[in-house]
């Protein structure tokens, strides 16, 4: 089922929207929330955590196996599919026993190849949808490793969840989005759908729509959002949960992007992309010429026993380029980062020239 403002192209798959409480707390809470999500929202999958990996011992670590029976009851009553997080082979077997439709591997589990392999082996032979959250630390290789371990045992019905990354720098969000990492994953695995989890990125209720929209703008195919019948009374992560009615208002406020284009659009974008290709070719040639000139400067420095790094000259170049970039509307940070990369490569080349003269 699509939101009212989702893509109108009937050939497009409906966006995947998973919603439900962070934790299953009681049979009443699970059933009431599922009923409200079915009644008031366009979500098609009801999610709830029954095993909750916590950072510190002593916190609520999930209701356990009985929660799966509540999810199954909610499924039978509402027709919503169900989803649950799994962290061990036993979790997988229990979830499959209770006919759970979607299983996801959490961020804390994705970082552990042994755990992922155990889960993959337990999933062998299933056609259930398996979602893999990004690892809690910003390491794309661990995310890639989880995908490959699932594929190695024959699992092909895979999706990715972008839930943000832990950082020692405390910023606006609970988990930094670090959009460049999921963008790289989409480049490497264009056939695997990506959904965004605004709840865990934000850690609050107020920025959910902004993060959800950014994900859709990047071509993500769905959302996972935590929704509770009474968020203020939630046992876990109450700050980031919203009611089902609030969830539907959020969904109705989103602009859903098309993933398939008409012929005219395709022709227009192909023309523009060809221009980009030409600019990129010119850029590579300009960089080649600039670095060749830097090597000539390095030879002169070597012949005259002059230090490779000339700080005054570098500061002059950087200041000049930032001013020029600003004058044509380029972002200061972008210009600085671009020039720093070029400068580091110039220094590397010149340093190698000096190293080659040492016996």
| pTM for the structure as a whole | 0.78
Q: What share of the chain is helix, strand, coil (3-state, %, to 5)?
A: 50, 10, 35
pLDDT in tens, 150-176: 999 999 999 999 999 998 777 789 999
- For residue 117, give both structure tokens: 């392999």
Listed in sequence order, the residues at least 6 apart from 114 whose beta carbon sits closer than 8 Å to its beta carbon are none
Q: Which domains occur in the chain, in start order?
A: 16-252 (3.20.20.70), 263-355 (1.20.59.10)
- Please give, one letter per residue, the 3-state secondary structure of 205-247: CCCHHHHHHHHHHCCCCEEEEEECCCHHHCCCCHHHCECHHHH
Residue 249: exposure state from Cβ atoms within 10 A (0-12, 13-18, ≥19)? middle
Distance of CA 63 to the CA centre of its chain: 28
Give the pLDDT confidence score for residue 356 in this predicted structure: 52
Yes or no: say if 46 and 225 are a contact pair by the CB < 8 Å rule. Answer: no
Q: Greatest CA separation found in the chain?
A: 83
Yes or no: say if 166 and 175 are a contact pair by the CB < 8 Å rule. Answer: yes
Give the pLDDT confidence score for residue 196 in this predicted structure: 98
- For residue 119, give both structure tokens: 């889960």
Find the distance separating the first CA and the last CA of the chain, reported in whole Å: 71
Give the C-alpha separation, 221 to 13, whole Å.
9
Give the pLDDT confidence score for residue 62 in this predicted structure: 82
- Residues of the chain with pLDDT below 50 are 1-5, 7-9, 357-359
Give the pLDDT confidence score for residue 55 in this predicted structure: 67
Q: Which of 129, 30, 20 is nearest to 73 (CA)?
A: 30
Yes or no: say if 71 and 100 are a contact pair by the CB < 8 Å rule. Answer: yes
Yes or no: say if 111 and 141 are a contact pair by the CB < 8 Å rule. Answer: no
Q: How many helices (H) and strands (E) does the chain have?
A: 13, 8
Give the pLDDT confidence score for residue 277 in this predicted structure: 87
Running DSSP on this structure, what letter comes out for residue 330?
Answer: -
Running DSSP on this structure, what letter comes out for residue 88?
Answer: S
């Amino acid at each position: 089922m699509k939101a009212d403002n989702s893509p109108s192209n009937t050939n497009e798959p409906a966006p995947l929207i998973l919603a439900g409480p962070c934790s299953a707390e009681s049979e009443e809470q699970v059933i009431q929330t599922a009923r409200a999500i079915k009644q008031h929202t366009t979500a098609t999958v009801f999610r709830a955590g029954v095993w909750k990996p916590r950072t510190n011992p002593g916190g609520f670590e999930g209701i356990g196996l009985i929660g799966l029976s509540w999810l199954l009851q909610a499924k039978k009553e509402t027709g919503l599919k169900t989803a649950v997080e799994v962290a061990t082979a036993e979790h997988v077997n229990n979830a499959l026993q209770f006919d759970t439709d979607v299983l996801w591997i959490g961020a804390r589990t994705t970082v552990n190849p042994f755990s992922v392999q155990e889960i993959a082996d337990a999933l062998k032979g299933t056609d259930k949808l398996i979602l893999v959250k990004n690892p809690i630390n910003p390491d794309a290789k661990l995310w890639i490793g989880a995908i490959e371990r699932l594929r190695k045992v024959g699992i092909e019905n895979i999706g990715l969840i972008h839930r943000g990354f832990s950082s020692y720098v405390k910023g606006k969000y609970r988990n930094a989005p670090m959009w460049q990492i999921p963008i790289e994953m989409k480049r490497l695995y264009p056939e695997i759908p990506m959904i965004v989890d605004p709840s865990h990125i934000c850690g609050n209720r107020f920025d959910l729509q902004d993060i959800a929209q950014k994900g859709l703008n990047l071509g993500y195919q769905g959302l996972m959002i935590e929704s509770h019948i009474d968020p203020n009374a939630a046992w876990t992560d109450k700050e980031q949960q919203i009611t089902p009615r609030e969830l539907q208002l959020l969904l109705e406020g989103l602009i859903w992007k098309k993933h398939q284009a008409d012929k005219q659009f395709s022709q227009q974008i192909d023309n523009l992309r060809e221009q980009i290709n030409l600019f990129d070719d010119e850029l590579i040639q300009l960089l080649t010429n600039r670095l060749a000139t830097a090597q000539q400067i390095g030879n002169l420095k070597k012949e005259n026993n002059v230090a490779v790094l000339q700080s005054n000259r570098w500061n002059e170049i950087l200041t000049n380029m930032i001013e020029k970039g600003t004058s044509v509307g380029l972002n200061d940070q972008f210009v600085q980062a671009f020039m720093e990369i070029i400068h580091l490569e110039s220094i590397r080349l010149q340093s190698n020239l000096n190293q080659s003269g040492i016996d």
